[in-house]
């Protein structure tokens, strides 16, 4: 009987894959693709992978290969150092003053204080400062990663309520792994309470006695299976008390201490990351009690008023655009919540309790608006921003009538507004100083039609004297995944590109959340091809409307966006003149076994599953490269990337170089000492100067 069952499974898999695949290619022994599934050899696809040796990135052989690739790339990029330096100098000097972040409002009514981050022109990373007030022009530095070793990056900070202790999360050399460090603010010395090797970290102080944090059940694994712990100051991590754990992969509890009275735990779980909510009264000897649990529900705490706790409900199947609910914890009943603000036709991208109001950020056609509501859900008014753009953050307190709004747009540099809720006056507090004239540039938002008739928004930026004669070098950017939206932002790099006569376009393709969770769901799993179709339709629009031509069109994406442009280069190699592929996912038949890939199967599917294998195999960049004339390709990697590891760009480079029949280069640029998110200003500008010089050379302008 068991043998018969396996025969049925095998035949079913064969029939499915036969319908999915137009041709069978030689690729690697099937046992290596799927060591966990019996009957994999019935997939009728034999996988041969000549780039498999590059997966051992620590080996001397791979390091020598990477070094040689870097040398070849430098030969290509260093033939005109004068032009390169002009680009680099302009990128560095377009900002004439310091860069800064939002103004954080901290403390209580009787002990209020403010914080910000500042990066001076000669500094690589942002440093952390106290402000006496939002107008303070002489801030006091309290933490500076530029003075720390090993390219330290600060991932988060928080103080005890008395400001005597600072907790900061720090990572080194570009790693996603973080350490928790406690600093005594009086002595400026770090305490011996360091907890190392944290991933996907969230922490919350309990008075000045200790803190809650999540930690993986096995620090050697990249899969997400965490427990919640409490660390008492002055003790070792081995003595930390486990508060909560669910024994399942894709399980992570995040804790928030509310007013030193309540412990709120959001337990996120499952392939699509839904959550249950628990609460514990810290003033009593009680256990965690589940208060919200709805099938496929997503609930995010936004604030409270007395015993009323407010949550954003973004359950994808029921409220994909989100609504606001309230839960009275005095009831202590499961799911005893009430709807306060119903779901709108526009997605909520931010929710806060500020100035005694519920403050919601709505996204309307890829621009954000601030709407204020009473605590009972009644609409009060809209906070009007000067132009269409992006609300970066909103800071404030429920007992203050002033909020601090960080904002920017394509030609509107980063700034902070002070908004007075009593007078409804929006006042510009400070804005980055940038050497450019915004009146010389134009930004238009258009809607083009994808292959299935879907209307897709795209922003196009250019100098106002642009002539649409098809000769303009054009930089098309996209991402299309993980419910990540790309709203208007200010970038010195974009301005430098426009100054050279270029066109910049950002296509808000499906896979993001520009129109809520439905927009995301429309390009994940078996629908992933939709984001590639959307991006290729964007390229065709730019050509058809005379902005550019195929020979002058460059496409760029990073991470999931690197997967995007690599796939599009395979599917439509004649549509582009150049491809910039950053930290990409490339081997989509093995991504789940490389780095943190197993955590992304909810987005792409799992190729260990026969059904998923079929639709992933269709677009997997590594397995769809064939001998052709490809556009010029620059592939960027970070040697310490532990998210989308350099395995992917290395394999892509190797196989693409073997199959490039044209005379255009396929180059690899690996940065040493950085990870997936490069926070280092000077390295990031050197990389951007390399990219722009590469494009000037291959697009011939």
Give the span between the Cα atoms of 414 and 426, in whole angstroms: 16
Which residues lie below 8 Å from residue 560, measured CB to CB, with a gap of 6+?
A: 479, 480, 481, 482, 484, 511, 585, 603
pTM: 0.92
Give the span between the Cα atoms of 311 and 302, in whole angstroms: 5
Contact yes or no for 328/307 (Cβ under 8 A): yes
Query: Around 93, how many Cα atoms within 13 Å sit in the side-chain half-sphere?
Result: 6
Q: What's the distance, CA 418 to chain centroid?
A: 27
Q: What is the pLDDT of residue 222?
A: 61
Give the span between the Cα atoms of 534 and 284, in whole angstroms: 55
CATH code assigned to 52-92+436-699 = 3.40.50.1820
| Location of structure tokens 């100067």 | 689
Low-confidence ranges of the chain (pLDDT < 50): 1-42
Q: What is the pLDDT of residue 679?
A: 86
Contact yes or no for 630/637 (Cβ under 8 A): no
DSSP-assigned letter for residue 588:
T
Give the span between the Cα atoms of 550 and 588, in whole angstroms: 27
| Location of structure tokens 């002595």 | 187
Alpha-carbon dihedral of residues 680, 685, 686, 689, nearest 10 degrees?
Answer: 160
Q: What is the pLDDT of residue 463?
A: 97
Give the span between the Cα atoms of 570 and 22, in whole angstroms: 16
> So where are the chain's domains?
2-43, 52-92+436-699, 294-433
| Structure token digits, residue 477 | 């950017």
Q: What is the pLDDT of residues 281-336, one digit of tens each?
A: 999 988 999 999 999 999 999 999 999 999 999 999 999 999 999 999 998 899 99
Pairing status of strand 632-638 against strand 503-507:
unpaired
| Structure token digits, residue 458 | 């795209």
Pairing status of strand 402-409 against strand 412-420:
antiparallel
Question: Which burial class, exposed, middle or buried, applies to 567 when counting CB atoms under 10 A from its CB (0-12, 13-18, 19+)?
Answer: buried
Q: What is the pLDDT of residues 103-143, one digit of tens each?
A: 999 998 888 999 999 999 999 999 999 999 999 999 999 99
Contact yes or no for 686/680 (Cβ under 8 A): no
Q: What is the pLDDT of residue 675?
A: 87
Give the span between the Cα atoms of 564 and 566, in whole angstroms: 6
Beta-ladder partners of 241: 230
Give the span between the Cα atoms of 318 and 691, in whole angstroms: 43
- Kindly report the backbone phi and psi dihedral angles of residue 570, in degrees, each rounded to the nearest multiple of 5, phi listed first: -70, -45
- The radius of gyration computed from the CA coordinates of the chain, to the nearest angstrom, equals 26
| Structure token digits, residue 11 | 């035949």
Which residues lie below 8 Å from residue 2, measured CB to CB, with a gap of 6+?
A: none
Fold (CATH) for 294-433: Methylamine Dehydrogenase; Chain H (2.130.10)
């Amino acid at each position: 009987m068991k043998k018969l069952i396996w025969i049925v499974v095998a035949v079913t898999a064969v029939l499915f894959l036969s319908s999915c695949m137009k041709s069978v290619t030689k690729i690697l022994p099937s046992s290596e693709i799927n060591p966990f599934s019996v009957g994999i050899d019935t997939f009728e696809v034999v996988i041969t992978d000549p780039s498999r040796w590059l997966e051992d990135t620590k080996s001397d052989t791979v390091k020598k290969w990477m070094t040689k690739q870097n040398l070849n790339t430098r030969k290509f990029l260093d033939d005109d150092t004068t032009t390169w330096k002009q680009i680099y100098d302009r990128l560095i000097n377009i900002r004439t003053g310091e860069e800064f972040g939002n103004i954080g409002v901290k403390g209580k009514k009787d002990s209020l204080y403010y914080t910000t981050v500042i990066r001076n022109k000669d500094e690589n990373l942002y440093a952390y400062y106290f402000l006496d007030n939002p107008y303070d022009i002489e801030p006091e530095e309290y933490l500076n990663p530029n003075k720390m070793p090993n390219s330290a990056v600060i991932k988060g900070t928080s103080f005890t309520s008395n400001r005597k202790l600072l907790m900061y999360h720090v990572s080194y050399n570009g790693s996603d792994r973080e350490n928790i460090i406690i600093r005594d603010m009086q002595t400026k010395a770090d305490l011996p309470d360091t907890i190392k090797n944290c991933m996907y970290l969230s922490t919350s102080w309990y008075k000045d006695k200790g803190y809650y944090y999540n930690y993986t059940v096995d620090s050697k694994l990249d899969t997400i299976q965490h427990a919640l712990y409490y660390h008492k100051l002055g003790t070792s991590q081995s003595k930390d008390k486990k508060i909560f754990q669910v024994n399942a992969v894709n399980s992570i509890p995040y804790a928030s201490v509310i007013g030193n009275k309540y412990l709120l735990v959001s337990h996120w779980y499952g392939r699509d990351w839904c959550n249950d909510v628990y609460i514990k009264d810290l003033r009593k000897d009680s256990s965690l009690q589940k208060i919200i649990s709805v099938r496929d529900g997503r609930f995010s705490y936004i604030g409270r008023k007395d015993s009323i706790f407010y949550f954003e409900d973004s359950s994808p199947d029921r409220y994909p655009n989100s609504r606001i609910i309230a839960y009275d914890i005095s009831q202590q009943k499961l799911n005893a919540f009430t709807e306060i603000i119903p779901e709108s036709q526009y997605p909520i991208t931010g929710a806060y309790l500020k100035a005694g109001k519920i403050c919601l950020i709505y996204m309307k056609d890829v621009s954000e608006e601030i709407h204020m509501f009473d605590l009972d859900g009644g609409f009060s008014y809209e906070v009007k921003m000067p132009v269409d753009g992006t609300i970066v953050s909103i800071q404030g307190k429920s007992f203050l009538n002033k909020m601090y709004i960080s904002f920017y747009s394509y030609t509107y540099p980063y700034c902070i507004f002070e908004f007075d809720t009593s007078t409804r006056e929006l006042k510009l507090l400070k804005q980055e100083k940038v050497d450019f004239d915004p009146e010389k540039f134009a930004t238009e938002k258009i809607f083009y039609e994808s292959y299935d008739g879907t209307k897709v928004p795209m922003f196009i930026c250019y100098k106002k004297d642009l002539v649409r004669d098809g000769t303009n070098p054009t930089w098309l950017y996209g991402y299309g995944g993980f419910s990540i939206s790309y709203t208007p932002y200010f970038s010195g790099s974009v301005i430098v590109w426009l100054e050279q006569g270029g066109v910049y376009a950002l296509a808000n393709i499906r896979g993001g959340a520009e129109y809520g969770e439905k927009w995301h769901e429309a390009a994940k799993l078996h629908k992933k091809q939709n984001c590639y179709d959307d991006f290729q339709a964007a390229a065709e629009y730019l050509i058809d409307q005379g902005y550019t031509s195929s020979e002058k069109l460059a496409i760029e994406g990073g991470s999931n966006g690197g997967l995007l442009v690599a796939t599009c280069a395979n599917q439509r190699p004649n549509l582009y003149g150049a491809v910039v592929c950053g930290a990409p996912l490339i081997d989509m038949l093995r991504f789940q076994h490389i780095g943190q890939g197993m955590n992304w199967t909810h987005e792409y599917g799992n190729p260990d599953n026969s059904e998923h294998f079929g639709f992933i195999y269709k677009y997997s960049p590594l397995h769809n490269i064939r001998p052709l004339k490809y556009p010029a390709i620059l592939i960027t990697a970070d040697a310490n990337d532990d998210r989308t590891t350099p395995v992917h760009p290395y394999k892509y480079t190797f196989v693409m170089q073997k199959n490039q029949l044209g005379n255009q280069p396929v180059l690899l640029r690996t940065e040493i000492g950085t990870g997936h998110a490069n926070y280092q200003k000077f390295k990031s500008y050197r990389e951007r100067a390399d990219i722009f010089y590469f494009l000037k050379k291959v697009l011939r302008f």
